[in-house]
Structure formats: C-alpha cells, structure tokens
C-alpha cells in the first residue's frame, strides 16, 4: 500500500500533525497492509509489488508517462484512491477517468458542521464497498465532481440545495444550486479507482467516528475490493 509523495504532497503518513495522514496509515496497517511511500515517478517498475496507491493532496500534475502506467496498474488489479486538495493539477488524470470538477468548492445548505457552508456531512451515497454500513461522513472544503461517461459513476453527493459560485459573482442563482457529486468511482480491468473531492477527509484532525469508519472501509477496499467483515467497523 503506497502513498504517493512525488507530486508536491504536503500532508503525509509519516507525520503526526493535525493535517497529516499518520492516522490513516495506522488504520491501513491495522487492516494487515504494509504501508510505504512512493517518491519516485509512477511507473510499471515503481508500482511493481504494490496492491494500491493513494494520491492525497497532490499539488503537482502527473507527468504524461505516469498516467498510462497508473492505468496499467489498475488493469492488472491495482486500486487507486485520490483525494483532492486543489483539483486543477489532477485535471488531466481525472479526465482519463471520465471525471470533471467544478471551478471552486461547494457551499452546502444542509447538514452543516458548526454552521460553516464549506464543512458538512454527506448522507447521500450510492452502492460501493467503501460506503457499506456508513450512514454519513464529513467533508471540509470539497470540490464538486461529475462523471462524464461510463468510465466512472457518482457514488456520493450533496443535498440538492448545495451551491457553487460558477459565475464567480457571489450571487446565488437557481442554475448554480443543485446536487454535486463529492466522490466518483470506476473499474479499470480487474482494479479500479475512487476519487474524493476533499483531502481533509482522512487527515488526523478529522478522523472522527464516521470518517474513521469510512477509512476502515477504504483500507479493506484498497486491500481486497471488499468492506471489512465482522465488528471491525464502528458506526
């Protein structure tokens, strides 16, 4: 199980600060995974022996030859999870998955956390192993996503009252107010991908009960494509 560290990521599994990913790494390890980091370019050779790759909070785009290598990795069974801090650097990669993104983060009107429109609970989920047994999870500044074609599908979304200032004029209009996807998934060969529009979701500070349960499911999906069995999840 590898964390990508070659594209400007600032929040990493080897540090214990509130925005770091050491808690997620511990959950992966507890699920039976061997966790490491990948600092060199993504390639057939660098991914050899890995079962999954996590790209969380990348600030730099993947190089042209890295994307085909990542697709080949999934075709032979690898699983990839992506969490966005800023979406544009990963735009070309997401396009290869059949996914586009909004021009800013979502403002929700329902299920707010501490009355902050950028921070909210997600309660609308479609069938996917990572959401099995999950009733809600929290997001803290999320880019809206959209599946463009059969390569991917929307698997979690906001309420229909969410808003993004698509025209950048600070005026809410009906055609800017709608349900936005916050997670998309797809299958590639015998592997697949899961994209979240937010990278805070699994940071130490935000691994509360619901997000921790989601992280446990993510660990199991990355490992074998299924949710954990038995009492391993606490809701």
Domains and CATH numbers, the chain: 2-232 (3.40.50.880)
Q: How far apart are CA 11 and CA 58, in angstroms?
A: 9
Q: How far apart are CA 174 and CA 162, in angstroms?
A: 10
Element (H, E) at 36: strand 36-38
Q: How far apart are CA 222 and CA 164, in angstroms?
A: 31
Tokens 């990669």 belong to which residue?
Answer: 93
Q: Which pLDDT score, from 0 to 100, does residue 226 have?
A: 54
Span 77-109, pLDDT tens digits:
999 999 999 999 999 999 999 999 999 999 999
Calculate mean pLDDT across residues 46-59.
96
Q: Helix, strand or coil for residue 99?
A: strand
Q: Which pLDDT score, from 0 to 100, does residue 229 have?
A: 44
**Are 83 and 184 within 8 A, CB to CB?**
no
What is the band of 166 on the pLDDT scale with cuts at 50, 70, 90?
confident
Considering the chain, what percentage of its residues have pLDDT values greater than 90? 93
Helix, strand, coil percentages for the chain (3-state, nearest 5):
25, 30, 45
Q: Which pLDDT score, from 0 to 100, does residue 35 have?
A: 96
Q: Which residues pair with 120 in a beta bridge?
A: 112, 139
Residue 235 scores a pLDDT above 50: no
Count CB neighbours of 34 within 10 A.
11
Considering the chain, what percentage of its residues have pLDDT values greater than 70? 95
What is the band of 185 on the pLDDT scale with cuts at 50, 70, 90?
very high
Count of CA atoms in the C-beta half-sphere (13 A) of 187: 5
Q: pTM value?
A: 0.94
Tokens of 88: 């544009």
**Are 100 and 149 within 8 A, CB to CB?**
no
Residue 197 scores a pLDDT above 70: yes
Span 18-52, pLDDT tens digits:
999 999 999 999 999 999 999 999 999 999 999 99
Q: What is the CA radius of gyration of the chain?
A: 17
In degrees and rounded to multiples of 5, residue 172 shows phi and psi of: -75, 130
Q: Which pLDDT score, from 0 to 100, does residue 228 have?
A: 45
Calculate mean pLDDT across residues 52-81.
97
Eight-state DSSP code of residue 229: P
**Are 179 and 110 within 8 A, CB to CB?**
no
Average pLDDT, the chain: 93
């Amino acid at each position: 199980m590898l964390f990508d560290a070659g594209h400007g990521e600032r929040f990493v599994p080897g540090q214990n600060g509130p925005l770091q990913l050491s808690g997620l790494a511990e959950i992966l390890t507890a699920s039976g995974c061997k966790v490491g980091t990948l600092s060199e370019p993504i390639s057939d050779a660098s991914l050899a022996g890995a079962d999954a790759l996590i790209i969380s909070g990348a600030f730099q785009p993947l190089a042209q030859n890295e994307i085909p290598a990542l697709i080949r990795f999934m075709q032979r069974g690898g699983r990839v999870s992506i969490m966005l801090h800023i979406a544009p650097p990963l735009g070309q990669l997401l396009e290869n998955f059949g996914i586009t993104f909004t021009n800013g983060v979502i403002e929700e009107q329902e299920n707010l956390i501490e009355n902050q429109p950028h921070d909210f609970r997600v309660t609308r989920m479609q069938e996917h192993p990572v959401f099995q047994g999950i009733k809600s999870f929290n997001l803290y500044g999320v880019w809206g996503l959209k599946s463009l074609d059969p390569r991917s599908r929307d698997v979690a979304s906001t309420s229909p009252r969410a808003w993004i200032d698509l025209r950048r004029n600070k005026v809410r209009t009906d055609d800017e107010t709608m349900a936005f996807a916050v997670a998309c998934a797809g299958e590639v060969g015998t592997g697949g991908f899961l994209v979240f529009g937010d990278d805070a979701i699994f940071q130490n500070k935000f691994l509360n009960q619901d997000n921790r349960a989601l992280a446990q499911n993510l660990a199991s999906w990355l490992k074998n494509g299924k949710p954990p069995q038995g009492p391993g999840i606490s809701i």
